[in-house]
């Protein structure tokens, strides 16, 4: 049976405008969380976020910028980087697919054009509004850009969307319905409405006076997540297709599992999360002892981090070293899982693990070996990546060194 190998990747994140820049910043322990200085944030209970530098869009044509939402722009930039990184594969368009997940799609356009309607009337609403706000927009634009005709899929599964997209891409490779799949997640929802909504749900950190210290996965003093934005995309290929064209193989998406908790619309179920981890390992043909590294979902929420720690202990018995890069990037929602997969892939490839930032005092209820302080070496061949979303979406991905 073929394997789904990774031949390219791209990322636009709060700590870097390319995947290599992001990787280097994470290894150095840099943070992308900043104070929001826009006037619209002045009265919000949360005035911090991890945003992408606006310079990311400089490579896009003026016409592209005018017709696309920020989420679509991020996906295009990351997708083009991933495609170039893979060597721009020569592939039959009917064997090329795109899968890009998101939690909110073009929410910025939705909010902006709603304001235009209220303040200026229906005649002033942009004719591009529908194609800018639709949740399948990032996948659609990227599929058109690359000429992909084997499918343009768009999983909408909250914070598990990026991981679900990679799992779907792997499924397409293994099922033989595509030779190449560009897949991952994107999010661009740092707006007053979103911040106010999550703050009302008491899910976000209010450490406004210490933005770079606010996101603190597994720390006993964590008080919620910090919203981030960005995109992380992989190019998956069937191993046969990649080897035939002499492509560089960075690793393998060796296992994946997608389940639903059927438990609570907000709270995750650690028992089902543990089951999801087990299913992912089974699909990779691995035992718990084979896992040498975990990139945790760990968003810095009081309940969620403990739930995941419980799930890891239940599924792996003695969990290996664990990291979460959300201390640096904030929580990228629909892109968080795919960024986690990219980080884990590079960790097992390069033998280095980025630290979990701001972990001063490990929560006793966590009881994990969390990488902190500085990047650490690893000899891991296989890494587990978790992503859990509101609604009970649970996703676990296994990446392996080639």
Question: Strands (DSSP E) along 155-229, which ranges?
Answer: 180-187
Q: How far apart are the first and last CA of the chain?
A: 15
- Residue 370 DSSP label: B
CA dihedral angle for residue 82, residue 84, residue 85, residue 88, rounded to 10 degrees: 100
Task: Note whether 34 and 25 are within 8 A (CB).
Answer: no
Helices marked H in 176-317? 192-200, 239-244, 270-284, 302-316
What CA–CA distances, in Å, run from 293 to 71, 316, 362, 382?
Answer: 30, 11, 18, 7
357's tokens? 């930032």
3-state secondary structure of 264: coil
- CA torsion sign, 173 to 178 to 180 to 184? negative
Q: For residues 333 and 161, give the distance between their C-alpha atoms in angstroms, rounded to a whole number.
A: 8
Q: For residues 392 and 202, give the distance between their C-alpha atoms in angstroms, rounded to a whole number.
A: 18
Q: For residues 402 and 400, give the distance between their C-alpha atoms in angstroms, rounded to a whole number.
A: 6
Q: For residues 129 and 154, give the distance between their C-alpha atoms in angstroms, rounded to a whole number.
A: 18
Catalytic residues: 159, 297, 331
8's tokens? 């390219």
What is the side-by-side strand order in the sheet with 322-323?
A: 152-153, 96-101, 180-187, 230-238, 4-12, 251-260, 393-400, 382-389, 293-295, 322-323
Buried-state track 203-225, b at ≥16 Cβ within 10 A, e below 16: bbbebeeebbbbbbbbbeebbbb
Q: For residues 281 and 358, give the distance between their C-alpha atoms in angstroms, rounded to a whole number.
A: 30
Q: For residues 327 and 233, give the distance between their C-alpha atoms in angstroms, rounded to a whole number.
A: 20
114's tokens? 């709603």
**Which among 319, 386, 378 is positioned nearest to 354, based on CA atoms?**
378
């Amino acid at each position: 049976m073929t394997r789904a190998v990774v031949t390219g990747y791209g990322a636009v994140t709060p700590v870097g405008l390319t995947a290599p820049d992001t990787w280097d910043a994470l290894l150095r322990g840099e943070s992308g969380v900043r104070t929001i200085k826009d006037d619209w944030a002045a009265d919000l209970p949360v005035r911090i976020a991890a945003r992408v530098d606006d310079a990311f869009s400089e490579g896009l044509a003026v016409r592209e910028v005018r017709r696309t939402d920020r989420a679509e722009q991020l996906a295009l930039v990351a997708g083009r980087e991933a495609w170039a990184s893979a060597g721009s594969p020569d592939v039959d368009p009917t064997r090329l697919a795109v899968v890009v997940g998101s939690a909110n799609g073009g929410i910025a356009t939705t909010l902006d054009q709603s304001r235009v309607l209220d303040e200026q009337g229906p005649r002033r609403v942009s004719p591009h509004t529908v194609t800018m706000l639709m949740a399948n927009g990032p996948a659609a634009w990227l599929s058109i850009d690359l000429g992909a005709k084997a499918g343009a899929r768009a999983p909408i599964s909250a914070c598990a969307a990026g991981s679900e997209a990679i799992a779907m891409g792997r499924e397409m490779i293994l099922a033989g319905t595509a030779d190449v799949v560009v897949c991952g997640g994107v999010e661009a929802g740092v707006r007053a409405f979103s911040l106010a909504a999550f703050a009302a749900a008491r899910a976000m950190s209010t450490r406004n006076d210490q933005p770079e210290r606010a996101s603190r996965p597994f720390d006993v003093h964590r008080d919620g997540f910090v919203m981030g934005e960005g995109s992380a995309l992989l190019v998956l290929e069937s191993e046969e297709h990649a080897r035939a064209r002499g492509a560089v193989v960075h690793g393998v998406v060796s296992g994946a599992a997608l389940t639903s908790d059927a438990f609570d619309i907000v709270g995750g179920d650690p028992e089902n999360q543990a089951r999801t981890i087990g299913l992912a390992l089974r699909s990779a043909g691995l035992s718990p002892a084979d896992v040498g590294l975990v990139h945790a979902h760990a968003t810095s929420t009081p309940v969620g981090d403990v739930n995941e720690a419980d799930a890891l202990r239940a599924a792996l018995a003695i969990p290996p070293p664990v990291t979460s890069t959300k201390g640096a990037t904030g929580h990228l929602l629909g892109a968080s899982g795919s960024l986690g997969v990219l980080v884990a892939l590079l960790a097992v490839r390069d033998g280095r693990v980025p630290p979990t930032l701001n972990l001063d005092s490990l929560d006793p209820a966590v009881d994990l070996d969390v990488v902190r302080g500085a990047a650490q070496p690893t000899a891991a061949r296989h890494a587990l990546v978790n992503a859990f979303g509101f609604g009970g979406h649970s996703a676990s991905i296994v990446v392996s060194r080639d």
